[in-house]
Structures are given as structure tokens and as C-alpha cells.
Amino acid sequence: MPLEGKVVGLFTATNAGATVVEVEQAHAVPGKGIEGDRYFKHTGAFSDRPGDGRDITLIEVEAVEAAKRDYGIEIQPGKSRRNVVTQNVALNHLVGREFDVGDVRLRGIRLCEPCEYLEGLTKHGVREALIHRGGLRANILNEGTIKIGDPIRA
């Protein structure tokens, strides 16, 4: 696993099913998520399901590229509905580990496997194309701002 990657995209959506919007920076709050995002406001599709790993989600840009290469499924990184798009970071290896995204400390909790809901919002085949590489669910450990271009250090 590379020791350092970077943030190449940041996305939020105001409500369940709403269009994701790319932002230049995002304010991360422990136990709440990304300010302005659907899960921060408890208006996400799965907001009624409590538990760890609901603060922030990440996905590798390489996984999105692999979906196109291996399955012919082309989606824009933000359409994955993950908050942070990373580059050069093996996210699956961060389950159970703490890591930094810029000045914000996160703890990887579990994989963010693709689901039927995601496939319904994107296109048929996304679920299969992103299985075991759909990203990471994490807890935010300290308040701070994440910006595009921020380093990711494991």
C-alpha cells in the first residue's frame, strides 16, 4: 500500500437520491459527517440505520477506472455517491486503521459495498463492477476541513 495518496474529488448531496455536487472543500465533524451532506442532516437513504462508519465514505478513483476497464461500466467518480475520491490509496487495507486526510483523522470501519440502491441511481452493472472495491466507510475523529489535493497518509 502506498504511504501517501491524495484527495482528487469531494462530493455531497443534500438529500437521499439528490444529485451529488462536487465541492472544493468539506467541513468534517466527528459523529455527524460532512457539513451540508445528506447524512449530516439525517436525510440520506440509510440515515435510519445507526452504527459506526456512517460519518464519511471514500472510494478509489482506480476502482471507478477498473469498472470501466473490466466491466464496461462508465460512471463519473461522484456518481459513486461517496464523499471522498482518492488516488494511490488501497482503501480496503484501511479497515480498522487510523489515517489522515489532510488535517482530519479518520478510522476505517468497514468496506462500503455497492448496493441495489446505488445501482438504481446509476446504471445496471454498477453493483457487480464495484463489488469489494466500492470504497470505505469511516468515522471522523477530529473536526477539520478536507480539500481537493489534500494528502492521505496511512
Model's pTM, two decimal places? Answer: 0.88
132 exposed, middle or buried (CB, 10 Å; 0-12, 13-18, 19+)?
A: exposed
CATH number for the region 4-146 comes to 2.40.33.20
Mean pLDDT of successive 10-residue stretches along the chain, which has 154 residues: 80 83 95 89 69 88 91 84 93 96 97 73 76 91 98 94
Residues with Cβ within 8 Å of 65's Cβ and at least 6 positions away in sequence, in order, are none
